[in-house]
């Protein structure tokens, strides 16, 4: 099934699959994030096979970021915790877009990177379903991208948050839910 999703007008977004969120000893471990790795690996392989792009969205904060008022320090620019987990590491030529806020579009070059490649459809993977994945999906739909969310390749802090976000993505944003 994943092969049918990807073509040259599509990009797979790997959102915040960083050491600081995925590893159990991280400052902000997301329950189940490590279990997403095989599905995201399948998605990356299918995307490359289908000629689709793979774009990495990475939280990247200054040491004094105001976000740390609400969350423990995480994904500090230049620290190992801000790196994509080794199992999903970007390949040469894969765009890596650094972001300081929830949406991958807010204050970043993501829209330009996608439009330069002729991308019209996005497949979202990563963490957190109800925060960065959701806010990226909202902005993507507002920018007229078709959005698919790989329900077996996203996770939230709680099952309730995950399920609620998937419902909102499907109902409000008309995002398609797919499996990788």
Cite the active site residues.
16, 99, 132
Place of tokens 């499907």: 170
Q: Is 15 exposed, middle or buried (0-12, 13-18, 19+ CB in 10 A)?
A: buried
Distance of CA 24 to the CA centre of its chain: 19
Buried/exposed code over 91-123 (b: 16+ C-beta within 10 A; e: otherwise): eeebbebbbbebbbbeebebbebbeebebebbb
Give yes or no for a contact between 6 and 46, defined as CB atoms under 8 angstroms apart: yes
Mapped to the 3 state alphabet, what secondary structure does 125-160 carry? Answer: EEECHHHHHHHHHHHHHHCCCEEEEEEEEEECCCHH
């Amino acid at each position: 099934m994943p092969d049918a999703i990807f073509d040259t007008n599509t990009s797979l977004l790997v959102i915040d699959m960083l050491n600081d969120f995925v590893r159990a000893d991280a400052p902000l471990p997301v329950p189940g994030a490590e279990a997403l790795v095989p599905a995201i690996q399948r998605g990356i392989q299918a995307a490359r096979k289908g000629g689709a792009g793979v774009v990495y969205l990475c939280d990247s904060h200054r040491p004094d970021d105001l976000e740390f008022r609400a969350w423990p320090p995480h994904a500090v620019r230049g620290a190992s915790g801000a790196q994509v987990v080794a199992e999903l590491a970007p390949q040469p030529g894969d765009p890596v877009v650094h972001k300081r806020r929830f949406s991958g579009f807010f204050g970043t070059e993501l829209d330009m990177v996608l439009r330069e490649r002729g991308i019209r459809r996005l497949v979202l993977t990563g963490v957190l379903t109800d925060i960065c994945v959701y806010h990226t999906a909202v902005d993507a739909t507002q920018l007229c991208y078709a959005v698919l969310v790989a329900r077996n390749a996203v996770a939230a802090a709680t099952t309730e948050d995950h399920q609620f976000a998937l419902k909102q993505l499907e109902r409000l944003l008309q995002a398609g839910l797919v499996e990788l």
